[in-house]
Structure 1
Amino acid sequence: MLVPLVLSLVELGKVARTMAPQSGFTISAKFPLPNPLLDLWAFIDAPDAETTGASSAVHHGAGTGTTTGHGPAGADVTIETPFETVVVPPEIGGLSLLGVIGGLLVVYALIASVIAAGYIGGLDRRLRGEPVAIAALVKQYTPPFFVYHLLVFAAFLFAIPLMLVSPALVLLAMPVAFVLLYLFYATPFLFVVADEPVIEALRRSAGYALAGGAYFQFALGHIAVGLVVSIPLSLFVSTIPVIGFVTALVVAVPLSFVLTAATVSFCQELDELDELDGQNTGANGAGGVPPRSQQNVSGSDDTNWVTDRAN
C-alpha cells in the first residue's frame, strides 16, 4: 500500500488545499475506471485555491500565486504534475506553451512509468506466488508504460488547440475521454500480465471492451465502488479538513491498493481465458476436427486408395 500512499501525499498542492479551512462544503461524485496508479485523488477533488485561501500554484518566476489568472493573452494554463500544480502564464503562448507542457508531461511520463512498472509488476508476481525483483521489473516494463503514457499525453496535447477554439468542445471532450478510458483501461495491465507490446495490448483491450461481458461488468463494479466512496469522503474532507483528510487517506489508500490488485487479477484471468481459447482452437485444428482425428481420417483414406488400386 506504499505506492498509493506516496502518490496521494506527493501532490503537495492538493494536500495543502485539502487541509486548509474551506468556505462551505463540497459533495463530488467520482466515476473512476481502473488505473495502474490509483490513489486518493481518484475519489476526491482538491478544492480550488479561491475556496480555501491557500495556493499551491507556481507561476513562472513569481513564486506562489493563485491557480487561475488572466493576462493579456487570456487565462493561465494549469498543469497538474506529481509534485506541484504548475500554472503557465498566458505570456508563454503558441508553440512555446506546447513546448513547456510537453516537457513537463515527458518528465511525468517517465516517473509514472517507473512507478507503474515496479508496482503492477510486483502485484502480478505476488498474485502468481513468484518472487518480486523490483529492479528487473522496472527494467522490463518501464519502456511499454513510457510509450503508453506518451501516447496518452500526445492525445492530450492534440486536444488542447481544439478545446481552445470553442468552449463547447471541452464539454464534448469529457464523454469522449471517458469512452477512450473504458476502451483501453486494461492496456497497461496487459503489458505485465501478458507481456504484450503496446499496440497488441491496445488491440486486445479494445477487443475486450467491444465484446462487453466480464470486461464491462468489472468496469461497472469499479465505477460503482468509486462512486459510493467518493460522495461521503468529499463531504467529510470539505467539512472537517484535517481530520477528514486523514480519514480519507485511511479509507482511500487501502481501497486503491485492493482495486488495483483486483484489476491485475482480473486481467490475468482474461489472459488465461485467451490462452485456453487458443489451445482449444489449436487442438481442434482446421474445420473444428482434432488433429489426431484428421490424421486417422487421412490414413484411412490412403489405405482404402491403396486397397482399391491393388484390387
Structure 2
Amino acid sequence: MVSIVALLSRAAERIDSLLPLSLVPFVLAALSLDKFRRIAASNADFRFGITFGFPTTVSSSWEFINVPQPTPGLTLPAGGVGLTVLVLLAVTVLSAALGAGYLGSLRRELAGVERSFLEDSRAYFGPFLGFELLHLALVLAGLLAAIVALPLGLLVLPLLLAFAYLFYATPYLVVVEETDLPSALRRSYEYATSDGEYASFFVQYLVSVGLVSVVATPLFSNSVLGAAVGVVVLAPVALLFDTATMLFVRDLAGATGREGPTASGTDPGGQSNMPVET
C-alpha cells in the first residue's frame, strides 16, 4: 500500500539536488498578492487554522497556510470581470510554462540525467496549457454563476473538487509517459476510478498538508512580514510534496523515469521509451 511518508522520505533524500527547483513554487506564491492583502486586512492578533491542499502541478507555500477568508460576498478587482479574466488568463499561461519546465526537470532529476528546464517548458507547454485552461474554465464558470447569484457559484465547488481528484495525476503522466493531454486525462481518470492506491495517496496528501498547516498557519499568517517569510520557508516543502507526487505517479505507471523528449532534441511523439537507470 502506498505511503506518503515513505514517498516524502524518498523525496527528501534528493532535496540537495532538487532545491533550485523550489524557485518555481516560490515565484507562484509570491505572485499571489491577494493572499498578502487578506492577511494585511485581518484584525486577528494570532491565528490558528488548518487547510487541506490537493496534489497539483506546482504546489505553493499557500497550500500550507490557512489564509483569512475575504469579506462575505463576491469581490472583484477595480477593473471588474474583464480585468479578473485577463489576470486569470495571464496566471494560467505563466503556470503552464513554469509547471512544464518544473515537472520536466523533476522527472529528469529523478532519472539521474541533466535538467533542461527551458526545453521541457517548451516541449510540454501545450498539454500543460490545455490542462490549466480546463481548470480555468471551471473557475470562470463558478465566477460567472456567482455573479448571477452567489449560491449558484457554490454549485460549481463539487465540480472543482471532482476535477482535483480525478485528474491530479494528469500533468505528471504527460511527462512520465511522454503522452498527449487527452491520453493523460484518460489514464488519470482510469486510475482514479479503479486503483485504490490513487485514492489512498490523495487522502494521505490532504491529511499531510493539513498537519503541516496546523504548524505553519500560526507562524506565517499573522502579518505580511510573516507571510513573506512563509513563502520562502515553505517553498522547499512544496517541492518535497510535488516530488512525492512525481514518485507516486512514476510507481503507479510502472515507469523508472526517462531522459525526456528534448534530451535528444526530438518531439514527445518520437522519443524512444528506453528506460534510464536511477
TM-score under structure 2 length normalisation = 0.74
Matched residue type, 1:256? A
Question: After the TM superposition, which residues 59-98 of structure 1 pair with which residues of structure 2 at under 5 Å, given as runs?
Answer: 77-78=75-76, 86-89=77-80, 97=81
Cα distance, 1:164 vs. partner?
3.6
Which residue is 1:229 aligned to? 212
2:31 corresponds in structure 1 to 10
The correspondence for 1:107, drawn from 90, 93, 97, is: 90
Cα distance in 2 for partners of 1:87, 1:212 equals 46
Instruction: Show the counterpart of 1:56.
Output: none
How many Å separate the matches in 1 of 2:106 and 2:246?
Answer: 7
Q: Offset at 1:13?
A: 4.5
Does structure 1 residue 270 correspond to structure 2 residue 271? Answer: no
Structure 1 residue ranges (4+ consecutive) displaced by more than 6 angstroms after TM superposition: none
C-alpha distance in 1, partners of 2:186/2:33?
37
In 2, Cα distance between equivalents of 1:49 and 1:168: 16
Preserved contact between residue 66 and residue 213 of structure 2 (Cα < 8 Å): no
Does 2:150 align with 1:167?
Answer: yes
Quick one: which amino acid aligns to residue 68 of structure 2?
P
The alignment partner of 2:254 has SS state of: helix
Give, in whole Å, the separation in 1 of the partners of 2:54 and 2:74.
29
Are residue 183 (structure 1) and residue 204 (structure 2) matched? Answer: no
Q: Aligned equivalents of 2:54 and 2:176: distance in 1?
A: 18
CA distance in 1, matches of 2:41, 2:56: 28
Partner of 1:254: 236
Q: TM-score, normalised by structure 1?
A: 0.67
Equivalent residue for 2:65?
44
Match of 1:34 among 55, 73, 79: 55
Percentage of identical aligned residues:
30
Among candidates 105, 110, 132, match of residue 127 of structure 1:
110
Q: How many residues end up aligned between the 2 structures?
A: 235
Code of the aligned partner of 1:226: V
1:143 and 2:126 matched: yes
* Letter aligned with residue 167 of structure 1: L
**8 A contact 2:127–2:181 mirrored in 1:** yes
- Higher strand content, 1 or 2: 1
5+ residue gaps, structure 2, are: 1-21, 256-278
Report the alpha carbon displacement of residue 172 of structure 1 after superposing the two structures with TM.
Answer: 3.3
Structure 2 distance, partners of 1:245, 1:47, is 12
Larger radius of gyration: 1
- Quote the RMSD (CA, aligned, Å): 2.8
- 1:193 equivalenced with 2:176 (yes/no): yes
- Residue identity matched to 2:200: Q
Residue from 156, 176, 182 that aligns with 2:139: 156
Q: Quote the offset at 1:222 in angstroms.
A: 0.9
How far did residue 48 of structure 1 move? 5.8
Amino acid of the structure 2 residue aligned with 1:104? V
Q: Secondary structure at the match of 1:2?
A: helix
**Matching of residues 208-227 of structure 1 within 5 Å:** 208-227=191-210
Secondary structure, counterpart of 1:177 in structure 2? helix
How far apart in 2 are the matches of 1:34 and 1:131? 25
CA deviations on 1:199-254 (whole Å, 9 max, x unpaired) are 11111111111114111111111111111111232223344x36743663465222
> Does residue 46 of structure 2 align to residue 25 of structure 1?
yes
Contact 1:4–1:256 (CA under 8 A) maintained in structure 2: yes
Amino acid paired to 2:160: A
